[in-house]
Amino acid sequence: MPPEICYRFEQRRQTHKQMNGASAAKTRAALPRITRLMALAIDLDSRLRNCDDLDCRTVADVGCVSRPRITQVLNLLQLAPEIQECLLMLPPLARGREPITEKSVRQLSAEYDWERQRERFEQLSRSRIEAKRSTP
């Protein structure tokens, strides 16, 4: 029997209190989505390696997502180790949209040359720094 895995991929709805903004000032900024996905990829990889009964199909069924989606998440492990570390350490942005998106990082992971990955990630990092400076 495979171990129980509880991952939720769907977006959560805001409560009435959050929509009114009453608790918005008290909550701190959430980690970037790509940081959470990178952590999930590492965790899933560890579980898949350590449990003989567990495979991608089971993980997809338990998580109520498709097998291609699990593959997309696990493909983040194809990134250079330094990039993975940077993604895990991304601080939350106070305001605005995150310039380092899952789509851009997925395209980056398709590049097999780690040196090219590092160059392209440096460009993404610079755009994040610029976005951070432009917010008041």
Q: Token digits for 1?
A: 């029997």
pLDDT, mean over the chain = 83
pLDDT in tens, 84-130: 999 999 988 777 788 889 999 999 999 999 999 999 999 988 888 77
pLDDT at 73: 95
Lowest mean pLDDT among 5-9, 20-24, 63-67, 75-79: 20-24
Residue 78 has phi, psi (to 5 degrees) of: -80, -5
Question: Beta strands of the chain (E only): which ranges?
Answer: none
Phi and psi angles of residue 36, each rounded to the nearest 5 degrees, phi first: -65, -40
- Per-residue pLDDT tens digits for 32-48: 999 999 999 999 999 99
Give the chain's end-to-end CA distance (angstroms, integer): 53
**Residue 93 exposed, middle or buried by CB count within 10 Å (0-12, 13-18, 19+):** middle
pTM of the complete model: 0.74
What is each CA distance from 4 to 50, 58, 67, 128, in whole angstroms? 14, 10, 17, 37
Given this model, what pLDDT does residue 6 score?
64
